[in-house]
C-alpha cells in the first residue's frame, strides 16, 4: 500500500536570500536567444563583487547583450529545494589577466572558441523555495 505524496508549494524568497543561494552553488544554466531559438547551455559560475562570472561552452560572437542564468537544487525524494533566476546584461571578459584567473578557478567543458567567460550584471533576481504544504 502506498501513501499519496505530500502536496508541495512554491514560496517566493527575498532577493538577498536568492543571491545567498546563488553564491553557495557553482553549477547552473545559461539561457539566451540565438537566431530566434532559445539556447540553454550548462555553465559554472562564481558570484564576486556584485556580479556573476560564468564560464559556458558558447561562442563569444554568438552571445546577445542580455542573458538569463538559472540555478536550482531540487531534492525530489524530500520534496524540497530552491530555484534562482538572474537576468541582465552580459559582456564577454576581455582582460587577459582576468580571463586567465577565471579559467583557472572555474572548471570548463571545452577549450577554444566554444569556451567563453561572461560577466553578468543582474537587473532582476527571483527565487523560490519548494516546500511541503503543512496540513
Going from N- to C-terminal start, the domains of the chain cover 17-132
- Give kind and range of the element (H or E) at residue 17: helix 15-24
pLDDT at 4: 59
User: Per the structure block, which three cell numbers stand in for 32?
Assistant: 539566451
17-132 CATH fold: Pnp Oxidase; Chain A (2.30.110)
For the chain, give the mean pLDDT.
Answer: 86
Closest-CA residue to 19 (of 86, 115, 94, 64): 86
User: Per the structure block, which three cell numbers stand in for 110?
Assistant: 571545452
Q: pLDDT-derived band of residue 58, with 50, 70 and 90 as boundaries?
A: confident
Asked whether the predicted pLDDT for residue 98 surpasses 80, the reply is yes
> Tens digits of per-residue pLDDT, 60-75?
887 888 999 999 998 8
Q: Are 54 and 117 in contact (CB under 8 A)?
A: yes
Amino acid at each position: 500500500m502506498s501513501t499519496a505524496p505530500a502536496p508541495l508549494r512554491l514560496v517566493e524568497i527575498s532577493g538577498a536570500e536568492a543571491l545567498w543561494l546563488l553564491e553557495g552553488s557553482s553549477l547552473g544554466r545559461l539561457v539566451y536567444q540565438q537566431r530566434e531559438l532559445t539556447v540553454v547551455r550548462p555553465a559554472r559560475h562564481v558570484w564576486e563583487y556584485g556580479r556573476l562570472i560564468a564560464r559556458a561552452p558558447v561562442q563569444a560572437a554568438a552571445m546577445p547583450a542580455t542573458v538569463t542564468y538559472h540555478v536550482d537544487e531540487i531534492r525530489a525524494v524530500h520534496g524540497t529545494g530552491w530555484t534562482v533566476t538572474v537576468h541582465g546584461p552580459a559582456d564577454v571578459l576581455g582582460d587577459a589577466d582576468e580571463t586567465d584567473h577565471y579559467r583557472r578557478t572555474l572548471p570548463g567543458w571545452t577549450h577554444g572558441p566554444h569556451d567563453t567567460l561572461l560577466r553578468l550584471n543582474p537587473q532582476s533576481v527571483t527565487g523560490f523555495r519548494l516546500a511541503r504544504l503543512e496540513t
